Amino acid sequence: MKCEVCGERPATIRYAEMVDGELSAWNLCERCAREKGVTGSLTSFATPLVNVLMGLLGESAEPGVEPSGAACPQCGLTYGEFRETGRLGCGACYETFYDELRPLLRRIHGSTQHAGVVPGAHVDDPASRSEIRRLKAELKQAVKREEYERAAEIRDLIRAKEEALASSRKKDVDVRDDGQ
């Protein structure tokens, strides 16, 4: 949803007020909310966390990595705005600000690779998942280089690994079902 004032940036704040029994509500972006004097958003509650993250950000830049000055093509957020609020505007911001975010994510999470949490019945071997991702990237490169025989070998290898994972997952679920 776009900001109802500027119509450019994503609305991240819902502002409502009651005047003489009449309810008025607006969806605003951070910038327009600030300009209208709207305060008390979730940002105020998150300020300590934002300050910690921004402190890490200030110290985490890799040598030679300067903010690109680019704006996200999808939501229009700039890196400077991200530094002010500690919030990205959309999923495309991760790609737009990749070089700037990478050191911050590495420092906060210890890695730039998302591991995630998987429900117990679907636990996969992380090494196998990583290998499949690597093979898929290799497959794309083989197709790009028009090495179709190699691409077919890689495709078959990926299928075999995915089937093995699915089979081990099924065995894991069957064992859990029998044990209950």
Asked whether residue 102 falls in the same domain as residue 126, the answer is: no
103 and 141 both lie in a single domain? no
Residue 33: inside a domain, yes or no?
yes
Range of the domain at 69: 13-109
pLDDT of the chain, 180 residues: tens digit per residue: 888 989 998 888 877 777 777 878 888 888 888 887 776 544 444 445 555 555 555 544 444 445 556 788 888 888 888 877 778 888 888 888 888 888 877 777 777 666 666 555 455 567 788 889 999 999 999 999 999 999 999 999 999 988 888 877 665 555 444 444
Q: Which helix H or strand E contains 7, and what residues bound it?
A: none
The domain total for the chain is: 2
Same domain, 23 and 90: yes
Give the domain-ending residue among 109, 138, 164. 109
Cα distances from 156 to residues 66, 110, 124, 140, in angstroms, run: 42, 34, 20, 14
